[in-house]
Structure 1
Amino acid sequence: MDLGFAGQAVLNTDFGYTVAVQFGGGYEVRVEVPFTLRIDGVDRQIEPGRDADAPAVALLGGQVVSFARADDSGGLRIEFVGGARLVATPDSAFEAWTVAGPDGLKVVCGPGGELSVWSAQQS
């Protein structure tokens, strides 16, 4: 499933018990489970809520999305121009990630990878 925000740049990141990445166009991704972040060719395992990981997430600032998809098993993959990449997998017991977008768009990866999708409202 194409998440619809290719071409948007990272405007802000917020690191806490969830990792939030805000993009242009009114899109936001929140990841609540450990995920892989590739920056400068190095894979880092990021665990929300661990302060030591915050500097790596901040490196996404200004990066432009080239590809943003959710797969049928609940995986999230966001690739950036220049080679950075964020990959999150589903959790068996918790919501793993959420994408929110303009006009009410929302995609939630529920426990076990089941995707719930609320489509954007047409004006």
Structure 2
Amino acid sequence: MATQKELLRRRASRVRRALKAVSNGRPRLSIHRSSKHIYAQVIDDAEGKTLAAASTLDTSLRSDLKTGADTAAAAAVGKLVAERAKQAGVTDVVFDRGAFIYHGRVKSLADAAREGGLNF
């Protein structure tokens, strides 16, 4: 029987394999959600470089947020990563939710990134 960690790794690789097929060279907006924080990165897989990143650990966000583990914090991270990606010249991305279900904080981050100007 596979462990929970192994099942999550399989789901994440399944999502990334599907994204790679439809990405057409676009950078990937990858997210990670922990119990206390949420992280987002715009990654160019062709060059293996991170173009923009934001998280609830950023000093600019940390003072404004009550906690890093709610939908308001995820929305703030989404807006910040969209702003930083636009400064880096990126507007079109593919959304990599990893092993996380598109619900709650993940959905909030995605919606805020769309409002911030990212297309996916």
- Which TM-score band applies after superposition, normalised by the shorter structure? under 0.3
Q: TM-score, normalised by structure 1?
A: 0.27
More RCO (CA 8 Å, sep 6+): 2
Structure (1 or 2) with the greater strand fraction: 1
Structure (1 or 2) with the greater helix fraction: 2
Q: TM-score, normalised by structure 2?
A: 0.27
